[in-house]
A and B are shown apart, each in its own frame.
Chain A
Amino acid sequence: MSSNRIQQRMDALKASGRKALIPYIVAGDPTPSVTVPAMHAMVEAGADIIELGMPFSDPFADGPVNQRGAERAIAGGMTLRGVLDAVSEFRQKDQDTPVVLMGYLNPLIAMGEVAFCDGCQASGVDGLLIVDMPPEEEGSLVQAAKARGLDLIYLAAPTTTDARLATIGQATSGYLYYVSLKGITGSSKLDTTEVSKRIEHMRQHISVPICVGFGIRTAEDAAAIASTADGSIVGTVLVSQVEALVNDPTKIPEALQSILKPMRDAMDANA
């Protein structure tokens, strides 16, 4: 049963007074063979949910670091089918850790939105976060995803109005991804006090857990965010680490762990 894996994980975390650590890497970056070992390594380092990027050639909501990750993955031969295969392989050893696929709509349209959702269900994907599909543009993908028990995770931003928060609150399931900064992934400034105030406000409209991403680089950042949010999402700093090891990809899983473990420890010290 894939449909409740995210909720079960969130409920378990809440019961133990802990917060979710959610790493993001691009599937196939820099080669397809690294992805599954990296996923297992991140779980071992304390990841609660994995966000796996489906590489796209024109990721305009991402920063240059994540775009280069996507370019490397595409050049290395990663395809959408390959992303689903990686999740299947991951599931052979790990049936508990939720996996969310994050990406852009066009590759899904190319595969066929229903075929894609079938593939997600078959390979053990739990949720989808489609960056360029706001609730207003919901189409056949949303119907197909819901019918297969896939969670649809939406974004909220500092500029999101209360009226839109209500719409997004209706649409989102699993968790809400709060974009903590104006800007693209990998921007630099993070004001945790501001984020904290905003999260308290959003809870009036949002019943699912609120996880925060964009701008979390250090263990201190992750812990500060986790003191008010339900989870910390960590992306660009990991993709940068992958980039630093493109010529030595076997070292990637361990290098990701060395970033995530201190984050896990700092977050749990709060609990």
Chain B
Amino acid sequence: MALTEHELRSLDYEPDAGGHFGDYGGRYVSETLMAALSELDQNYQKLKNDPDFQREFDADLASFVGRPSPLYHAERWSKAVGGAQIYFKREDLNHTGAHKVNNTIGQALLAKYSGKPRVIAETGAGQHGVATATVAARLGLECVVYMGADDVERQSPNVYRMKLLGAKVVPVESGSRTLKDALNEAMRDWVTNVDDTFYIIGTVAGPAPYPQLVRDFNAVVGRELKWQSKELFGKYPDALVACVGGGSNAIGMFYPFLKDTEVAVYGVEAAGRGLSTNEHAAPLCSGRPGVLHGAKTYLMDNSDGQIAHTHSVSAGLDYPGVGPEHAYLKDIGRANYVGATDDEALAAFHEVSKVEGIIPALETAHALAYTKKLAATMRPDQTVVCNMSGRGDKDIFTVAKMEGISLT
């Protein structure tokens, strides 16, 4: 139910003790995982206010990732679109090429402080897998990455990167052979090896406390944007736009602004071949509440409650659920969720590459497609910031193949 602006300003936007954001989130898991999740929760609640932990996290973000990431004025594109001034928050310039590393550094440090020598992860596009393998290599942790067998095929450069970094990549053949199946398999590994293993989840989905801690580690994006926007144009942005698969780059940018209701917030889901078809990955736009992977949230299922096979041109958005905090923000009316189709994303991918000299990730291209629509409806003295969540090097093979071009 939508809340009033006054109510939206006075919320604290924190989950309750059980990890619920309103009706969503929580810990819908088998008893076999409860002890591990409570231990993680206790460790996290203690460490998030520990000055040594925070200092090490901040230092790694500065010297290993290269933060702060710049806030960039896309001047030529703004002029071409002919509306608001468009800015990019350059997460694509991070080490490993996406926002994902903010979270993996945080969780790998949690693993280190919790005395777990082995880390596991699931990955869709491979960005989270690479980001996990990267920090595991740096901290000397054993690393196993689960990846849907279809994704292994469509993202072979990232599979090779993970192997170079010393990680073992396990293709998952079950179910739809994509991200959700990789997540199932990683959970199974964790239940079996919980004593020595830390599960580094790649997005704000899953059971509590993951949605909260992944958000907190990515919130550095929004915190930087607050001072950068004041510095660059003297006020907060009028609108924020980010793509939403699980939703970690989006919540990372949105969260520090949630009480600032003058800042409009847009999450862009993968509308695939169109929201009116069954071939998309947009649970907030056209799914319904249910329970998947340990949390209550919006998801895509059939009339019998079986999880749907999703479609998106972008492997990183090809997921039938979404972080529970997004479900909450949708229901209370603080954030707007919209879709961008495969075709719209591909058009934005080409346009921004040519006009701004930045090849965006296909995930990010969904946010860019909506940014263009939105900016065109706004005045030139207004600003919209799009989270340039990842770079597109990993996607050039996919795009070339779709366009009938052979790169070999």
Contacts and interface: CB of A to CB of B under 8 A. Distances in A.
B191 interface: yes
Contact of B32 (A71, A154, A182): A182
A58 B191 contact: no
A109 B289 contact: yes
A157 B35 contact: yes
B188 A60 contact: yes
Given A60-B184, A131-B30, A187 B307 contact: no
Given A132-B30, A134-B29, A159-B35, A67 B174 contact: yes
Q: Name the residue among B30, B180, B188 with the largest chain A CB count within 10 angstroms.
A: B30
A263 to B, nearest CB: 24
Q: Name the residue among A58, A64, A104, A134 with the largest chain B CB count within 10 angstroms.
A: A58
A74 B188 contact: no
B304 A184 contact: no
Chain B residues touching A, majority SS = mixed
B290 interface: yes
Contacts of B26: 136-137
Nearest to A133: B28
B34 interface: yes
A179 B28 contact: no
Contacts of B34: 134, 157, 159-160, 164
B167 interface: no
A232 B208 CA distance: 32
Contact of A106 (B174, B175, B292): B292
B31 A179 contact: yes
Contacts, number: 123
Interface in A43-97: 56-61, 63-64, 67-68, 71, 74, 79-81
Contacts of B306: 56-57, 74, 107
B81 interface: no
A110 interface: yes
Interface in A16-54: none
B199 to A, nearest CB: 12
Task: Kindly state the interface size class of chain B when it binds its partner.
Answer: 35 or more
A183 interface: yes
Nearest to A179: B32
A111 interface: yes
Contacts of A71: 174-175
Given A56-B306, A109-B289, A134 B31 contact: yes
A159 B188 contact: no
B70 to A, nearest CB: 39
Contact of A132 (B38, B174, B175, B291): B291
A110 B301 contact: yes
Contacts of A64: 174
Interface in A148-190: 154-157, 159-161, 164, 168, 179, 182-184, 187
15 contacts: A57-B175, A58-B292, A60-B184, A60-B187, A61-B29, A63-B188, A106-B299, A109-B290, A132-B291, A134-B30, A136-B27, A154-B31, A159-B32, A182-B194, A184-B188
Given A154-B31, A184-B188, 19 more contacts: A58-B180, A58-B184, A60-B30, A60-B184, A61-B191, A67-B175, A80-B304, A110-B304, A110-B305, A111-B305, A132-B28, A132-B29, A136-B18, A157-B35, A159-B36, A159-B194, A160-B35, A161-B35, A168-B31
Interface of B: 18, 26-36, 38, 174-175, 180, 183-184, 187-188, 191-192, 194-195, 289-294, 296, 299, 301, 303-307
